[in-house]
Amino acid sequence: MTSELAEYIESIRYTSKLQPSNEAEVLGELETHIEDKLQELTDSGLSEEEAVKTCLRQLGSPSLVARQIYEAYSQGSWKQVFMASLPHILFGGLFTLNWWQHAGWLVVVLSLIAGIAVYGWRHGKPTWIFSWLSYSLLPVLAVGILLVYLPKGLSLLAIPVYIALAAWWLIHIVTQTLKKDWLFSSVMLLPMPIIIGWFLAVSPDWKITTTSLERANIMAPWIGLSFLALGLTIAAFIRIRQRWLRIGLLVLSGIITLSLVVHYAYGQINTPMFVGLMLVMSGVFLVPLVLERYFRNRSKSLAKNTRIDNAKTA
């Protein structure tokens, strides 16, 4: 197979975002189809170069073929829908049923989420795992909140270190999930601005007090419903085939949910806080996308340099 055809198939492989269980079979069938088409064209009298150009023209652009493959294989099963939405339902249930006030239930639910997240991470990172990873990031947020209770001088030293370490850890996790699809990274990060928003609504000064606990008790039903709605969003995301609809669903859900958080915060979230939360929500989609483009361009550059070196050696 010529380098031009190899680049064509590689572009489709990268853009179609196939699951590992389907990738080898689908791309194998595509390669077989291309080889049969090339043989047909060369038998008709075309040179190899002409046959390749004609074949690629008839197949269509890599982005078009990749989109067709994505829509054919991207839809998740109902089992994946259940598993992907379950952590949001569990977390939302803690507040809807007011179980968040009982340490036992809180520990059970968070331990279950952490355990399943670790299990899924070690067993091939299935599609549904990214929803569970969302809540495994809660300890990172908790550490940031605890820094507020340090003496002022010590907190000024600790906060920059915390921000650097938290950013490194977040980028590391996102980088790992990018191997699947940047959209799944966004699925993983989507609850974070909402959790931060509710925390600010309950504790605008970042300190947990008796007053903030009372606010949490009043807002608990709305907090729970926001995460139950998030579970429905993820369920729809898994079943939708079209990529642009998936992106639109996540963006719209994030904006609406965050707006509802501000609405039911009873004035606790001011305009600068809201703007900050919207910037964080924007980062949920932009950071994974930018990182994926960066790694993709770097991979292309390395592959190109390898081909040039091999050509020189030959």
314 in any annotated domain: no
Give yes or no for residue 278 having a pLDDT over 70: yes
Banded model confidence at residue 221, pLDDT cuts 50, 70, 90:
very high
Domain boundary among 13, 44, 72: 72
Give yes or no for residue 208 having a pLDDT over 90: no
Tell me the percentage of the chain whose pLDDT exceeds 70.
96
Residues in the chain: 314
- Same structural domain, 9 and 127: no
Distances 280 to 101, 191, 255, 283, 286 between C-alpha atoms, Å: 28, 11, 11, 5, 10
81 in any annotated domain: yes
307 in any annotated domain: no
* DSSP character at residue 240: -
When pLDDT is averaged across residues 154-182 and rounded to a whole number, the result is 82
Out of 11-25, 67-81, 250-264, pick the least confident. 11-25
When pLDDT is averaged across residues 94-115 and rounded to a whole number, the result is 88
- Same structural domain, 199 and 68: no
Per-residue pLDDT tens digits for 222-250: 999 999 999 999 999 999 999 999 999 99
Tell me the percentage of the chain whose pLDDT exceeds 90.
30
Out of 18-22, 51-55, 196-200, pick the least confident. 18-22
Q: Which residue has the tokens 């309950």?
A: 202
Give yes or no for residue 304 having a pLDDT over 80: no
- Supply the pLDDT for residue 313: 67
80 in any annotated domain: yes
- Same structural domain, 67 and 110: no
Banded model confidence at residue 186, pLDDT cuts 50, 70, 90:
very high
2: left (phi over 0), alpha (psi -120 to 50) or beta: beta
When pLDDT is averaged across residues 184-194 and rounded to a whole number, the result is 92
User: pTM for the full model?
Assistant: 0.86
- Same structural domain, 142 and 33: no
Give yes or no for residue 314 having a pLDDT over 80: no
- Same structural domain, 227 and 100: yes
- Same structural domain, 40 and 171: no
191 in any annotated domain: yes
- Same structural domain, 39 and 185: no
Residue 23 structural domain:
3-72
- Same structural domain, 267 and 211: yes
309 in any annotated domain: no
Per-residue pLDDT tens digits for 126-147: 889 999 988 888 888 888 888 8
Per-residue pLDDT tens digits for 13-32: 888 888 777 788 888 888 88
Give yes or no for residue 310 having a pLDDT over 70: no
Q: How far apart are CA 108 and CA 91, in angstroms?
A: 11
142 in any annotated domain: yes
159 in any annotated domain: yes
Within the chain, what is the greatest distance between any pair of CA atoms?
84
Q: Per the structure, how many domains does the chain have?
A: 2
Banded model confidence at residue 309, pLDDT cuts 50, 70, 90:
low
- Same structural domain, 64 and 96: no
- Same structural domain, 207 and 279: yes
- Same structural domain, 54 and 104: no
- Same structural domain, 50 and 152: no
